Amino acid sequence: MNIWLASGNTHKKLELEAIFRTKGDGRDIVIRVPADAGIDNFDPPETGSSFAENALIKARSLYRLLKERQPSSFRDGEPVLADDSGLCVEALEGRPGILSARYGGKDGKKLEAAKRNALLLEELDARLEFLPPEKQNRKAHFVCAMVLCYSEDRFFIAQETFEGELVNTIGAGRGSGGFGYDPIFRIPSLGRTAAELSEEEKNAISHRGKAGKAIAGFLAF
């Protein structure tokens, strides 16, 4: 079964392939991306004010393109999957939130992950200096809103979180797995960062893993 992912992000594709591997009656699920249908530079404007709104924008945008172009690799009835995710830091009043991927960027260009992570820790440290002691914490959580779209008006949404905290310094970042903010996002109960978790461990507790498992229940085989 093909599921069309409304993203060109290789890391997301790999994570979702693991999450959706062999669902339903045992048939394999193949995650396809816009480029597989000859749709290059898929990047619809994310004008929503929430993760769910942006996920739906992306899902509907790809659905429309597939219906309009009818590429040979697409068959009517195949669903479109989209997610919008980001990191929300409590002391920063939920920032960077829906702007996580674009945080710190200028003129439409995104910062490299390492620079973005360092900038976020710097902003948090600066903010903590001005907060009363009872509000000085490094709590943060990831959010993932995931949409499974069968048509413009028929879709399912699941939204989940992944709770943790930010490390104290960029030098305390650990791990080579995952992507984005994972090396600086620590799970206190495990004593490890998200980037130190195995694929199976992360998918069992992460925002995307939990949302994906909920969405899997809506797949029509």
H-type helices in the chain, by residue range?
A: 10-19, 51-69, 113-128, 199-205, 207-216
Angstrom distance (rounded) from CA 13 to CA 107: 27
84 belongs to the catalytic site: yes
Check residue 122 and give its pLDDT. 97
Residue percentage of the chain with pLDDT more than 90: 78
What's the mean per-residue pLDDT of the chain? 92
Instruction: Exactly one of 36, 40, 83, 84 is catalytic; name it.
Output: 84
Could you tell me the two tokens for 211?
Answer: 């949302």
Q: Which fold has domain 2-216?
A: Maf protein (3.90.950)
Mean pLDDT of 129-156: 95
- Of 34 and 177, the structure prediction assigns the larger pLDDT to 34
Q: For residue 27, what pLDDT is reported?
A: 57
Q: Quote the tokens at residue 141.
A: 């959580």
- DSSP element (H, E) containing 147: strand 139-151
Nearest Cα residue to 123 out of 162, 166, 84: 166
The larger pLDDT score, comparing residue 40 to residue 107, is at 40
Residue ranges per domain, the chain? 2-216
Tell me: the pLDDT tens digits for 119-140?
Answer: 999 999 999 999 999 989 999 9
Name the nearest CA neighbour of 15 among 171, 195, 151. 195
> Alpha-carbon distance 126 to 122, whole Å?
6
Q: Residue 25: which pLDDT band, with cuts at 50, 70 and 90? A: very low
Q: What is the mean pLDDT of residues 141-159?
A: 96
Confidence of residue 9 (pLDDT cuts 50, 70, 90): confident
Does the pLDDT at position 26 exceed 70?
no
Alpha carbon separation from 112 to 125, 136, 140, 180, 219 (Å, rounded): 20, 28, 21, 9, 35
Which residues lie below 8 Å from residue 192, measured CB to CB, with a gap of 6+?
Answer: 174, 175, 186
| Model confidence at 198: pLDDT above 90 | yes
Query: Residue 24 — very low, low, confident or very high, per pLDDT cuts 50/70/90?
Result: very low
CB 63 within 8 A of CB 39: no
Instruction: Determine the pLDDT at residue 14.
Output: 87
11, 5, 6, 8: which is closest to 180 by C-alpha? 11
Q: Above 70 in pLDDT, residue 207? A: yes
Which tens digits make up the pLDDT trace of 94-112? 999 999 999 999 887 889 9
Query: What distance in Å separates the CA atoms of residue 213 and residue 31, rounded to the nearest whole number?
Result: 15
